Chains A and B, each alone.
Chain A
Amino acid sequence: MTLLAPLFLQLALLGIGVTIALHFIVTRQPPSSVLPTTRFVPRDTVQVTTVSRPNDLLLLLLRVLIMLLIGLAFARPVLVADRTPVARIVLADASFAVKDIAEVRDSVRKLLRPQDVFIAFDTAAHTLPISALDTLTATHAPGHLSAALVRALREAAELRARADSIEIVLVSPLRASAVDGATLAIRELWPGPVRIVDVSARTDSAITRGVQIRGAADDDGIRLAFNYTGADAGTRLVRGQLSADDTAWAARGGTLVHWPVATAPQGFAPRSTTDTVGGVLAGDAALVYPLERLWTAKDSAHVAARWIDGEPAALERTVGSGCIREVAVSVPDRGDVVLRPSFARFAQALTAPCTALMTGPPASEETRAAIGGDGPLAHRDIILPPDDIATPLVPWLLATALLLALLELRMRRSHAIARAHELKTQQESAA
């Protein structure tokens, strides 16, 4: 057992010493005796100090225990297990980018030992028991390495008490999409190397070849935005109501764009007062035109397009292996906006394959090198301890101290009652 704040225990021991001393050394006025002829005693002031045997040893014992327990609780004791030479933190990529999750499971299984830590991640990272490895499944969410690294740093801070050196192993196809602007900065916080174990990545098979348009009138201007509108296109754009077939098609991995003409898309509600907005933005495509805004978003989902004032103009929901994109932008039936190239770019951005379906290219060599790093394994001494170390003993110590304090209070009251009773008996016998 080690103490995180031993000063408190030292203070408690000091307090115990003072308490014991106070129990033994009694400075008080002696009990007064009645003497009718007190007037003949010379006037004087005397303070009597006596060193007496304490007659309340049980009370003293309780007080000592209470102070000791409180001091120990504030000193935050931590039980430390035996250290292993090397502990491993395995980061398993369970995102959409993984082609075969079984390959990940096999790789992780080879690496994991009982004392190691297992973290699975996609957009979020979770520490799992090793037994959960067998049930690990791939998700439809993209992988975020930053989240995994942050989790690994926290686990390393906890693990430093149980290991001399710590190694981080990343089991992932490591696509470029998994690396964001913060990833390398987070990586620099880890003083050792990160071993990268490659697994196969899913290939982006759902490459759009065009848009199939359903429910649009023949003179719907939106048709002009797309060159190819064959039935085998990778993206389906529905201008009317969605059917069960549309949803099933999306769940099979398609990109379904629901862009109704007059009704509110799912996740949107009619605005109390319609207004006109000067433009809308989808990815890098911007359409600058006075567009009428009829609906407002009521659900929270991935925003695929925004009005220029920041309000969502299109939402994207993941359905099965695909997604449904609800577009709340009314297409003007007058004017030449649909003939403009900017409208075509905007429409193509809205009909691009779903974000979750894009694994993107592999990370560059520079990125891999930066993430992998080099040098010896990180020693426990150079790993920062955690800000908040779990101290499970503390509540028990405090609870026991509270219990003893209640007992001490009860005992003191019992003593006081007994003393009062004794005094009353003396007075009655005197009367």
Chain B
Amino acid sequence: MPLSQYAAALDAVRGIGWPALRRVRTTPVGPHASIVRGSTAEFLEYRAYRQGDDPAKIDWKLVARTDRVYVRVSQERTILPTMLVADASASMAFPQTTHAKWKIASQLAIGLAAIARHRGDPVGLAVAHADGSTIIEPRTRSTVLEEMMRALDVTPGGTNSVADVMADALHLGARVVLLTDFLDDDDTGLLAHAKAAVAAGREVYAIHIVDGLELDPDAKQLLVSDPELPDVRRPMPPNARTVYKRRFAEWRDKLARDWRRAGTVYELVVPQAEPFRRTIRRITSAGEKGGASR
């Protein structure tokens, strides 16, 4: 996809924030609330002095008024390294004529990366494609978005293991956004990685990309085949379409339930179904709802 096509996506994300879901464990100064209580100007509370506290943090005026020793506790701000994981398997090259799934995944990746980087977070990208993976480690420098755009300039095809790439990304980022259609055979491995990451305090976003033609296939399609398994061909007469739609909906519901239960943010994205800015806000607002205080 030409780099110029990201202009609309970058324009759409202007002014959108993306707070962390919970306090971040990292120490470098950044925009997100840290779990570390420090002595910065952003006052949080007073706490009774305990042995070992730095005497410099004692509020002597309060001691004079109350005759008790308190120390000032302030909120530390830190950064949240963000990794975006894009699935570039053959199933993402759908529909064949427009590749709408891959396009929306690329735009979401760049849009979310732009939001995060704008707030000072390092951003990185991992693209899982047939030949392996392309990984850009989280950085804050100005050219990182362009590097990501170039990394996303691939044609989805073949099969890959998103779970492995996800595992690598979880080592690099405290916040990992997975952009996939979850049609990888190893979806249980993916979920296991996500559960482990959440348990370790990382934030995991599962963005499920589904095309409108997958939700409601064209009735003229009488025989369908899996792009990742061309030998798998199945007829789809009207009665089979009904069964297909039911099964697919059940699968999506179960997927959403599992991922949400695992503590991740799960969002279903259908290309062209809503304005891009609204999609972005839907994803980034998860932190605002319960976010920083959680």
- Is there a chain B Cβ closer than 8 Å to A132's Cβ? no
Instruction: Given A44-B234, A44-B235, verify A35-B221 contact (CB < 8 Å).
Output: yes
Q: Is the CB of A32 within 8 A of B223?
A: yes
Contact with B along A17-41 (1 / 0, CB 8 A): 0000000000001111111111111
Q: Is the CB of B244 within 8 A of A46?
A: no
Main SS of chain A's interface residues? loop
CB contact between A431 and one of B90, B155, B226, B232 (< 8 Å): that residue: B155
Contact with A along B49-81 (1 / 0, CB 8 A): 000000000000000000000000000000000
- Is there a chain B Cβ closer than 8 Å to A429's Cβ? yes
Residue among A36, A44, A46, A429 facing the most chain B CB atoms (10 A cut-off): A36
CB-CB contacts below 8 Å: B205-257 with A = 213-214, 217-218, 221-229, 232-237, 240, 243-244, 247-248, 251
- Is there a chain B Cβ closer than 8 Å to A310's Cβ? no
Q: Is the CB of A38 within 8 A of B94?
A: no
Residue of B nearest to A38 (CB): B226
> Which residues of chain A have C-beta atoms less than 8 A from B217's C-beta?
35
Residue of A nearest to B91 (CB): A36
Distance to closest chain B CB from A367 (angstroms): 88
Q: Is the CB of B244 within 8 A of A36?
A: no
Number of interface residues of B (CB under 8 A): 35
Q: Is the CB of A38 within 8 A of B224?
A: yes
Q: Is the CB of A36 within 8 A of B226?
A: yes
> Which residues of chain B have C-beta atoms less than 8 A from A31's C-beta?
223
Residue of B nearest to A31 (CB): B223
CB contact between A32 and one of B91, B213, B233 (< 8 Å): that residue: B233
A42–B246 alpha-carbon span in the complex (Å)? 11
A349–B232 alpha-carbon span in the complex (Å)? 101
Instruction: Given A39-B226, A41-B234, verify A34-B243 contact (CB < 8 Å).
Output: no
Residue among A31, A42, A45, A430 facing the most chain B CB atoms (10 A cut-off): A42
Q: Is the CB of B235 within 8 A of A46?
A: yes
- Is there a chain A Cβ closer than 8 Å to B97's Cβ? yes
Number of interface residues of A (CB under 8 A): 22
Q: Is the CB of A32 within 8 A of B226?
A: no
A35–B233 alpha-carbon span in the complex (Å)? 10
Q: Is the CB of B221 within 8 A of A33?
A: yes
> Which residues of chain A have C-beta atoms less than 8 A from B228's C-beta?
36
CB-CB contacts below 8 Å: B171-212 with A = 181, 183
> Which residues of chain B have C-beta atoms less than 8 A from A48's C-beta?
222, 235
Distance to closest chain A CB from B269 (angstroms): 15
Distance to closest chain A CB from B128 (angstroms): 15
Q: Is the CB of B240 within 8 A of A35?
A: no
- Is there a chain A Cβ closer than 8 Å to B272's Cβ? no
- Is there a chain A Cβ closer than 8 Å to B96's Cβ? yes
Residue of B nearest to A29 (CB): B223
Q: Is the CB of B222 within 8 A of A41?
A: no
CB contact between B225 and one of A32, A40, A43, A431 (< 8 Å): that residue: A32
Q: Is the CB of A38 within 8 A of B232?
A: yes
A31–B248 alpha-carbon span in the complex (Å)? 23
Residue of A nearest to B233 (CB): A32
Q: Is the CB of B223 within 8 A of A30?
A: yes
Residue of B nearest to A39 (CB): B226
Residue of B nearest to A44 (CB): B235
Q: Is the CB of A41 within 8 A of B97?
A: no
Residue of A nearest to B225 (CB): A32
Q: Is the CB of B155 within 8 A of A41?
A: no
Instruction: Given A42-B240, A429-B97, A430-B97, verify A34-B235 contact (CB < 8 Å).
Output: no
Distance to closest chain B CB from A97 (angstroms): 90
Q: Is the CB of A40 within 8 A of B247?
A: yes
Q: Is the CB of A33 within 8 A of B244?
A: no
Q: Is the CB of B224 within 8 A of A32?
A: yes
A30–B220 alpha-carbon span in the complex (Å)? 10
Q: Is the CB of A35 within 8 A of B97?
A: no
Q: Is the CB of A45 within 8 A of B235?
A: yes
A31–B225 alpha-carbon span in the complex (Å)? 10
Q: Is the CB of A36 within 8 A of B235?
A: no
> Which residues of chain B have C-beta atoms less than 8 A from A35's C-beta?
94, 213-214, 217, 221, 224-226, 236
Distance to closest chain B CB from A22 (angstroms): 21
Residue of B nearest to A36 (CB): B91
Q: Is the CB of A38 within 8 A of B247?
A: no
> Which residues of chain A have C-beta atoms less than 8 A from B233's C-beta?
32, 38
> Which residues of chain A have C-beta atoms less than 8 A from B229's C-beta?
38
Q: Is the CB of B234 within 8 A of A43?
A: yes
Contact with A along B9-35 (1 / 0, CB 8 A): 000000000000000000000000000
> Which residues of chain A have C-beta atoms less than 8 A from B243's C-beta?
41-42
Residue among B92, B236, B237, B251 facing the most chain A CB atoms (10 A cut-off): B236
Distance to closest chain B CB from A33 (angstroms): 4
A40–B224 alpha-carbon span in the complex (Å)? 11
Distance to closest chain A CB from B219 (angstroms): 11
Residue of A nearest to B215 (CB): A37
Q: Is the CB of B248 within 8 A of A40?
A: yes
A45–B237 alpha-carbon span in the complex (Å)? 11
A38–B235 alpha-carbon span in the complex (Å)? 10
CB contact between B244 and one of A34, A41, A45, A430 (< 8 Å): that residue: A41
> Which residues of chain B have C-beta atoms less than 8 A from A45's C-beta?
235
A30–B225 alpha-carbon span in the complex (Å)? 12
Distance to closest chain A CB from B154 (angstroms): 12
Q: Is the CB of B155 within 8 A of A42?
A: no
A44–B232 alpha-carbon span in the complex (Å)? 11
A108–B167 alpha-carbon span in the complex (Å)? 114
Contact with B along A38-62 (1 / 0, CB 8 A): 1111111110100000000000000
A39–B223 alpha-carbon span in the complex (Å)? 13
Distance to closest chain A CB from B152 (angstroms): 16
CB-CB contacts below 8 Å: B109-138 with A = none
Q: Is the CB of B236 within 8 A of A36?
A: no
> Which residues of chain B have C-beta atoms less than 8 A from A40's C-beta?
244, 247-248, 251
Residue of B nearest to A47 (CB): B235
A37–B183 alpha-carbon span in the complex (Å)? 7
A375–B214 alpha-carbon span in the complex (Å)? 96
Q: List 7 A-B contacts (CB under 8 A).
A: A32-B233, A33-B225, A40-B244, A40-B248, A41-B244, A44-B235, A48-B235
- Minimum-distance CB pairs A-B, first 10: A36-B91, A46-B235, A35-B224, A38-B226, A40-B247, A41-B234, A33-B221, A30-B222, A40-B248, A32-B225
Besides A32-B225, A36-B92, A37-B214, 17 other A-B contacts (C-beta < 8 A): A33-B223, A33-B225, A34-B96, A35-B224, A36-B91, A36-B228, A37-B244, A38-B229, A38-B233, A38-B234, A40-B244, A41-B234, A41-B244, A44-B235, A44-B237, A46-B222, A429-B97
